[in-house]
Chain A
Amino acid sequence: MEMLLMGAVLSMFGLAVSCLAFGAATREEPAAKKQPAKAVAVNARFFADTPAAPLAAHTRVPIEALLLQIENHVRLEQAAAECFLESPNSALLHSRTVSSLVN
């Protein structure tokens, strides 16, 4: 009888250990599932950061090219301002520019 009780207790203990192990194993799974979500979040941030890329690209533009862009921008803006002065109206004052410096 004692042996039977001992076996039952050990079985219960084994079952409990198995349940804990299973629980721990299944708890890890959602955590593992979160990993792709994290990756998605990282991806989303990557895409959100893409506007910064041209800025980084700008810093790679040689300074001579940048100075030419600025000069070209000034010329375009003067031409636009001259057009406005020839025929002053709001549309000409705020006409869009093709300047690479602001586009």
Chain B
Amino acid sequence: MVDADLLKGLPAAEAASVLELGKRTLLTTGAELFHLGDAADSIYLIARGRLRLTLPMQVRSREEDIMVEERSSGQTVGWSALIPPYRFTLTAAAPLETEVIALSREALNTYFAAHPDTGYAVSLNLASVIGQRLQLFQAMWVREVQRMVESRCA
């Protein structure tokens, strides 16, 4: 787990120290890790398995959870825990048995206050995770708008 996206660039001992702040949680198949709108107190590193991130959508007058992203081992989910207003903006569920390491905001803030270099490196990694998602969804959004324009002008 020391090569997780959130810990990239950290010395192995430092990465291990951050991981020691976490609590391992095992999710059974179908279990929900967090729900849209819940208070976000922890960020999660996926140790093994996979998580589906979903948003609700009306399909034939029925609300369905539509997958918008999938994350696997080594990747981070739940960064809403580190960004105000600390509310999850997606729902995360495990499509198969999955193990995550939950890092609480409180524990991270305390540790980073004592180890600012580590805090800085993790913040950069977090910015990278958020930035990648932003760019990905910008591109996806423009593609959908392009299709909408084409269908309107056809």
* Chain B CB within 8 A of A93 CB: yes
Chain A residues with Cβ under 8 A from B60's Cβ?
Answer: 59, 63, 66
| Complex Cα spacing A66 to B64, Å | 11
* Chain B residues within 8 Å of A82, by CB: 136
- Of chain B, the residue at the smallest CB distance from A71 is B67
Min CB distance B53 to A, Å, is 11
Contact with A along B131-150 (1 / 0, CB 8 A): 01001110110111011000
Pick from B59, B136, B140: contact of A70, CB below 8 A: B59
Cα–Cα distance between A44 and B68 once the two chains are bound (Å): 42
A interface list, Cβ under 8 A from B: 59, 63, 66-67, 70-71, 74, 77-78, 80-82, 84-85, 93-94, 97, 102
Q: How far does the alpha carbon of A71 sit from the alpha carbon of B95 in the complex, in Å? A: 14
Q: Is the CB of B143 within 8 A of A81?
A: yes
**5 nearest CB pairs, A to B:** A81-B139, A81-B140, A84-B139, A81-B136, A77-B140
Query: Smallest CB–CB gap between A27 and chain B, Å?
Result: 45
Asked if B69 is at the interface (CB within 8 A of a chain A CB), the reply is: yes
By a CB distance below 8 angstroms, the chain B residues around A66 are 59-60
Q: Is B152 an interface residue (CB 8 A)?
A: no
Tell me, rounded to whole Å, the shortest Cβ–Cβ distance linking A28 to chain B. 44
Binding site of B, secondary structure by majority: helix, strand, loop or mixed? helix
| In contact, B64 and A78 (Cβ under 8 angstroms) | no
Q: Does B66 contact A (CB under 8 A)?
A: yes
Please determine whether B139 and A85 come into contact, CB atoms closer than 8 angstroms: yes
User: How far in angstroms is the closest Cβ of chain A from B62?
Assistant: 7
15 contacts between A and B (CB under 8 A): A59-B60, A63-B64, A67-B59, A67-B66, A70-B57, A80-B139, A80-B143, A81-B135, A81-B136, A81-B137, A81-B139, A82-B136, A85-B132, A93-B142, A97-B143
Contact B143 A77 (CB under 8 A): yes
Most buried by A among B57, B60, B139, B143: B139
Tell me if A63 and B59 are in contact (CB < 8 A): yes
